[in-house]
Amino acid sequence: METQAPTIAPLKASLQAILQDLPLLYPELTLGLGVLLVLLGALLIPRSWRNEGLAVLSLLVIAASAYMLLYKGLPAEPVHLLARTLQLDKMAVAFRLLVLLSGLLAVLLSFREGKKLAGEYYALLLGLLMAAMLMSMASNLLLIYLSIETASICAYLLTAFSGGREGAEAGLKYLLFGAVASAIMLYGMSLLYGFTGTLDITAYGFKSGLMSLNIPILPVLLAAFLVLAGFLFKISVVPFHLWTPDAYQGAPLPAAALFSTAPKLAGLALMMRFLSHFLEAGIIFAGLRFDWQFILGLLAIITMLVGNLAAVWQQDARRLLAYSSIAHSGLLLAAVLVFRALGYKALLFYGFVYILMNFAAFLLVSMLKAETGSYKIADYRGLGSRLSYSSVLMVVVMIALTGLPPTAGFTAKLLVFSALWEGYSSGGSSMLLYLLLTGLATTVVALFYYLKIPYYLYLKKQPEAVVQVEGSTVLERILAGALALLLVLFFFRADWVMNWIEAFTISQ
Amino acid sequence: MELTEHLLSLLIFVPLLAALVLLLIPARLSGAGRWVALAATALQVLLAVALWSGFRSGAGAPAGVFSPQGYQFVEKLDWFSLPLGEIGYLSADYFLGVDGLSVGLVLLAAIVMFIGVISSWNIHQHQKGYFLLYLLLSSTVVGCFVALDLLLFYLFFEFMLLPMYFLIGMWGGPRRAYASIKFFLYTLAGSLFILIAIVGLYISGIDPVATALHAGVEEAGRVQVMLQEGALNTRDMVHTFNMLHLMDGGNLIPGSLLSLKGGGELWGHSIRLLAFLALMLGFAVKLPAVPVHTWLPDAHVEAPTPVSVVLAAILLKIGGYAILRIPYSLFPEGAIYYAPLVAGVGVLSILYGAFNALAQSDLKKMIAYSSVSHMGYVLLGLAALTVEGVSGALYQMFSHGLVSAALFLLVGVLYDRTHNRIIDNYGGLARRMPVFTVAVTITFFASLGLPGFSGFIAEALVFLGAFRSPSANGLLPYWMVILATLGLVITAAYYLWTLQRMFFGQFFVRELHWEGSLTDLTPREYFLLIPLIAGMLVMGLFPNLLLDSFTPAVDAFVQGVLERGRSNLVLLTRFL
């Protein structure tokens, strides 16, 4: 007994520390518990209402998680959790809320699609949410890797879940690209660990290790880029975007909508956290200041160009939305690169509005699929007069995605542009100006392809034979109407959103 | 609650409410759409007349343009204020007001929108949708003329595109899809240049009154001093979209990219001058000026008659009006520095538009190009920065508003009968349609600037002003103005040649069956054309009726732009 005491005491202490931290992680734990409940429910709930039952169960789990987050999980000041593997600050809270919001909407969209799928679908959805939430607070290379990998595995499975050739092919493609990205990231992490001797990016040793003059700058930068590649893959920034269109096309529609929001925003949070620790170190690198804004800005510009230009040629609504989501990634990345408070606020505003408009777009595509049996934009021809409600909403959502008033999509773009201008005018790199100009120029391209949908809805004549497949449900109509209404409302009352964001400004 | 206190809001919201009513009425009553639209636009005309008659001008009345006290019927409410942390707040206002530059244009817009509804009477396809979009358009054009907050202006300016896109795209001619997309893309591309300037402006400028509140300073004047001394905390600054605050150099944050002292530079140019160019480019697309005019002929040719009327008579005026209100008033040094460029583009538009009109075989396209040419006079008059020149530019906008509306209605008359607009397919129409011929002749003469008609006054003023510019303020060279006079000759040429080919000589039509359908004007067409033609005559014979309303504002405008522009230019000399 006496000989063991010295080893038990620290173990006991760390166990106690972990137990103390747990209440702040109730939101994630709730989701984890939810995964188990859903799996159990899939076995117990009778087949006739299994899909509805599981969807409602998932909604309850997400609501419970959000409750835990808002009422139990807010630390007074930034804290490190679980032996410094997680960093819980206001930014983490904001991004976790955004992830939960997109999860909520994804489940609401699943009432139709879920019918064709097995019950495990909801379990994977919740698992993905949990992983994305962990991603937004991970501050330890190991946990960063684990959370990204968990999110990815859930995403691969979801992509292949709808079965059939298309799904399997997309899932496999996604898996192959993802595995390579993970391997690259892991290699970068191992290098960083080698340089610094710690996995904790918030630790002093990490910073001082990187700053030490013994290490040449090139390998350090290489290692950092290898790690960033893993994040950029999740955010689908060019050239790590190749999986996106296939995965969106192959996956069940609500899952695709979720891919375009939750992991992307979590990846952006991760990137901000990683870069903020790296930037401080980066300034002193052997007297050389490495210009992160320049190289990542270049990627953001390429992403905006490729995403927008490629979207012009798309015939399938899901692929169009996939490229549109790549294009939006470019602008979101630009907001991150401002590295100032206004950029961060603009990012949160954009992220919030982006969730609303992207889910609205996916929902409407799903409703039109139910009406026409097709995802092809050409098959929307002339629907404007027959399906006036969904068509009008579609116009609103497309205008929001383009970023025109009177929708919150405009306000979001305005704020990102403002952040870029403000960053540039307070002595920032001229890359910020180029990002701003690219953002403006690509808006014209964006209008061209987003307008394609209203163009087919209203300006083209309806074909003779009308296929009515199943029709949209009341729930879908209400949800789509509510989302579109919010998009307009938050243009006129942008201050409401901004006041919520104000509560989640980085407190450092 | 006084009605007059909310006159401008009513002008905007009456059509909007009518659109809402239309949205809610059941589909089987969609025939009521045109009556709702008629009632709403008629009410709008009444409100605009009330505005016009309640507007005070002359001695003792507010002159307008650069100070909040210069505006009448002002309405100002907080719209929103966004907390932006370390750079302070971003506030936008619901801020409306009219001065001499805008009050007449509101009246013009209301009248043309009303005429447009009557001219839309025989549109039967998707009636409800058509009138709904039309009413939205009506609300936004008025909004553009009365908004004094840049964000609010931009909202109206951009939101106008959507109804226009559908109006051309769904009810237009054979190539309507191409024309409507081209229209949308061109104008959007232009308005993004405007957006970037707006973003720069609000980040560079503050609202002294609201900032005083946040900073706990007693008076706004003190805030301006503190701002210039750098004694103001950035967290207290309230950034604003308010045009009138942004016109005051004292509200620009020192060191910001658009500030006067130590303003930013990009590629060796002053960012203020670049912002002026960006705004000018954006509005030049709308005006339109050569070489960004190419959307106009397509849009006009494909648009249904009423939409063409609204497009030519009002939408183009928004471009002209906005140039006065935004780039010229906010960046007056640009107005001086780039005067030859603006005038040059104007002269190019006059000549290029006129030569193109001469070459057209399609009557509607010819008139579209004549619009490009006539809008060139607006630019020339503005660039001169003399009272006559700017008055002429404004007068030209009114005159063209009436003349182009009448011209497109007249083309519509012919097109309704034969569905063909090719000039060479007709000859000697005077024998079959004498009244129509008289109307066309009068309108053509008004457009080419025959004395006694509105176009004459406008063009005379423009040239008077432009010729005075070299000696009065030295902005324009003589040769440019002389070159522009060539436009008058070509304009006369294409109108007279068209008259001769289509209306005089032997009666001739390409297809025999057209002959039966070529009847003279119907009562509805009389009703549409008579007020317009009367307007052209009244404006030509009694120019003071209109001139009096805007002369004080133009005086203040010209004086302000020249004074402020010259003193600003001194501050920017290092770039020049």
Out of A251-255, A437-441, B3-7, which region has the weakest mean confidence (pLDDT)? B3-7
Count of CB atoms situated within 10 Å of the CB of A52: 13
Among candidates B84, B154, B170 on the partner chain, residue whose Cβ is nearest the Cβ of A458: B170
- Judged on CB neighbours under 10 Å (0-12, 13-18, 19+), B306 is buried
Angle between helices B523-541 and B434-448 (to 10 degrees): 30
Rounded-to-integer distance, Cα A31 and Cα A116, Å: 23
Q: Any chain B CB within 8 A of the CB of A350?
A: no
Angle between helices A262-282 and A217-235 (to 10 degrees): 160
Q: Which residue has the tokens 């032997």?
A: B506
pLDDT single digits (tens) B344-358: 999 999 999 999 999
Residue of B nearest to A497 (CA): B82
Q: How does residue B576 score in pLDDT terms, banded at 50, 70 and 90?
A: low
What value does the mean pLDDT take over residues A473-486?
93
pLDDT at B43 over 90: yes
pLDDT single digits (tens) B143-157: 999 999 999 999 999
Residue contact A494–B181, C-beta within 8 A: no
Residue contact A345–B84, C-beta within 8 A: yes
Q: How does residue A156 score in pLDDT terms, banded at 50, 70 and 90?
A: very high
Q: How does residue A468 score in pLDDT terms, banded at 50, 70 and 90?
A: low
Q: Which of B16, B82, B156, B257 to mutate to test the interface with A (most CBs of A within 10 A)?
A: B82
Residue A370: strand, helix, or coil: helix
Mean pLDDT of chain B: 88
Question: Following DSSP, what letter does each residue of B111-153 receive, concatenated?
Answer: HHHHHHHHHTTT--TTHHHHHHHHHHHHHHHHHHHHB-BHHHH
- B89 membership: H or E segment, kind and range: strand B89-98
Residue of B nearest to A442 (CA): B189
Angle between helices B544-571 and B523-541 (to 10 degrees): 60
pLDDT at A79 over 70: yes
A470 residue type, one letter: E
Residue contact A447–B192, C-beta within 8 A: no
User: Is the distance from CB of B205 to CB of B272 less than 8 angstroms?
Assistant: no
Out of B39-43, B74-78, B118-122, B261-265, which region has the weakest mean confidence (pLDDT)? B261-265
pLDDT single digits (tens) A349-401: 999 999 999 999 999 999 998 888 888 888 888 888 888 889 999 999 999 99
Chain A residues in contact with B126 by the CB 8 A cut-off are 385
Residue contact A451–B184, C-beta within 8 A: yes
First-to-last alpha carbon distance for chain B, in angstroms, is 53
Tokens at residue B175, please? 């190539």
Residue of A nearest to B194 (CA): A440
Count of CB atoms situated within 10 Å of the CB of B513: 8
- Using alpha carbons, select from B252, B43, B242, B256 the residue that is nearest to residue B151: B242
pLDDT single digits (tens) A195-245: 888 888 888 777 777 777 666 777 888 888 899 999 999 899 988 888 899
Rounded-to-integer distance, Cα B210 and Cα B89, Å: 10
For residue A384, give how far its alpha carbon lies from the nearest alpha carbon of chain B (Å): 11
Chain B residues in contact with A422 by the CB 8 A cut-off are 87, 203
Mean pLDDT of chain A: 87
User: Is the distance from CB of A220 to CB of A189 less than 8 angstroms?
Assistant: no
Q: In what order do the strands lie in the sheet with B72-83?
A: B72-83, B89-98, B238-240
- A200 membership: H or E segment, kind and range: none
Q: Which of B13, B78, B79, B87 to mutate to test the interface with A (most CBs of A within 10 A)?
A: B87
Chain A residues in contact with B89 by the CB 8 A cut-off are none
Residue contact B126–A385, C-beta within 8 A: yes
Percentage of chain B exceeding pLDDT 70: 98
Residue contact B81–A494, C-beta within 8 A: no
Looking at residue A281, its pLDDT comes to 52
pLDDT at B490 over 80: yes
- Using alpha carbons, select from A304, A225, A237 the residue that is nearest to residue A268: A237
Interface of chain B against chain A, CB under 8 Å? 79-87, 90, 126, 154-155, 158-159, 161-162, 165-166, 169-170, 176-177, 180-181, 184-185, 188-189, 192-193, 195-196, 199-200, 202-204, 256-257, 264, 266
User: Is the distance from CB of B107 to CB of B153 less than 8 angstroms?
Assistant: no
Q: How does residue A117 score in pLDDT terms, banded at 50, 70 and 90?
A: confident
User: Is the distance from CB of B340 to CB of B480 less than 8 angstroms?
Assistant: yes
Q: How does residue A166 score in pLDDT terms, banded at 50, 70 and 90?
A: confident
pLDDT at B118 over 70: yes
Q: How many CA atoms lie within 13 A of A128 on its CB side?
A: 35
Looking at residue A508, its pLDDT comes to 39
Count of CB atoms situated within 10 Å of the CB of B226: 18
Residues contacting residue A347 through CB under 8 Å, at least 6 positions apart: A268, A332, A335, A336, A416
Among candidates B86, B90, B203 on the partner chain, residue whose Cβ is nearest the Cβ of A421: B203
Residue A106: strand, helix, or coil: helix
pLDDT at B575 over 70: no
Rounded-to-integer distance, Cα A92 and Cα A81, Å: 12
Q: How does residue B257 score in pLDDT terms, banded at 50, 70 and 90?
A: confident
Looking at residue A464, its pLDDT comes to 66
What value does the mean pLDDT take over residues B86-103?
88
pLDDT at B555 over 60: yes
pLDDT at A113 over 90: no
Residue of A nearest to B199 (CA): A418
pLDDT at A413 over 90: yes
Residue of A nearest to B265 (CA): A425
Q: For residue B261, give the DSSP letter.
A: T
What value does the mean pLDDT take over residues B489-504?
90
Rounded-to-integer distance, Cα B116 and Cα B397, Å: 18
pLDDT single digits (tens) A272-300: 888 887 766 554 444 455 677 888 899 99
Pairing state between β A79-81 and A86-88: antiparallel
Residue contact A440–B83, C-beta within 8 A: no
Residue contact A451–B181, C-beta within 8 A: yes
Residues contacting residue B212 through CB under 8 Å, at least 6 positions apart: B218, B219, B220, B222, B223
Among candidates A341, A395, A492 on the partner chain, residue whose Cβ is nearest the Cβ of B86: A341
**How far is residue B311 from each of residues A129, A142, A320, B287, measured CA to CA in Å?**
51, 62, 33, 10
Looking at residue A287, its pLDDT comes to 42
For residue A373, give how far its alpha carbon lies from the nearest alpha carbon of chain B (Å): 25
Residue A101: strand, helix, or coil: helix
Among candidates A342, A440, A498 on the partner chain, residue whose Cβ is nearest the Cβ of B192: A440
User: Is the distance from CB of B322 to CB of B157 less than 8 angstroms?
Assistant: yes
pLDDT at A506 over 60: no
Number of residues written out for chain A: 508
Question: Following DSSP, what letter does each residue of A441-485 receive, concatenated?
Answer: HHHHHHHHHHTHHHIIIIISPPPSS----S---HHHHHHHHHHHH
Q: Where are the alpha helices (DSSP H) in B425-510?
A: 434-448, 454-472, 478-503
User: Is the distance from CB of A459 to CB of B169 less than 8 angstroms?
Assistant: yes
Residues β-bridged to residue B91: B81, B240
Chain B residues in contact with A494 by the CB 8 A cut-off are 80, 82
Q: How does residue B461 score in pLDDT terms, banded at 50, 70 and 90?
A: very high
Q: Which of B84, B152, B195, B285 to mutate to test the interface with A (most CBs of A within 10 A)?
A: B84
What value does the mean pLDDT take over residues B286-310?
90
Residues contacting residue A331 through CB under 8 Å, at least 6 positions apart: A300, A304, A350, A413, A416, A439
Rounded-to-integer distance, Cα A309 and Cα B527, Å: 50
User: Is the distance from CB of A40 to CB of A101 less than 8 angstroms?
Assistant: no
User: Is the distance from CB of A55 to CB of A122 less than 8 angstroms?
Assistant: yes
Rounded-to-integer distance, Cα A439 and Cα A446, Å: 10
Residue B295: strand, helix, or coil: helix
For residue B90, give how far its alpha carbon lies from the nearest alpha carbon of chain A (Å): 9
Residue B105: strand, helix, or coil: helix
Residue contact A424–B257, C-beta within 8 A: yes
Looking at residue B259, its pLDDT comes to 80
- Using alpha carbons, select from B516, B441, B517, B449 the residue that is nearest to residue B485: B449
Greatest alpha-carbon span in chain B:
82
Could you tell me how many CB contacts below 8 A there are between chain A and chain B? 99
Tokens at residue B290, please? 């050569």
Rounded-to-integer distance, Cα B82 and Cα B151, Å: 13
Q: How does residue B96 score in pLDDT terms, banded at 50, 70 and 90?
A: very high
Chain B residues in contact with A417 by the CB 8 A cut-off are 195-196, 199
pLDDT at A2 over 50: no
Looking at residue A33, its pLDDT comes to 95
Interface of A with B in 445-484 (CB under 8 A): 447-448, 451, 454-455, 458-460
Residue A376: strand, helix, or coil: strand
Tokens at residue B165, please? 């896109």
The residue extents of the domains of chain A are: 294-508
Percentage of chain A exceeding pLDDT 90: 48
Rounded-to-integer distance, Cα B562 and Cα B26, Å: 56
Chain B residues in contact with A460 by the CB 8 A cut-off are 177
Higher-pLDDT residue of A257, A11: A257
Looking at residue A284, its pLDDT comes to 44
Rounded-to-integer distance, Cα B239 and Cα A144, Å: 39
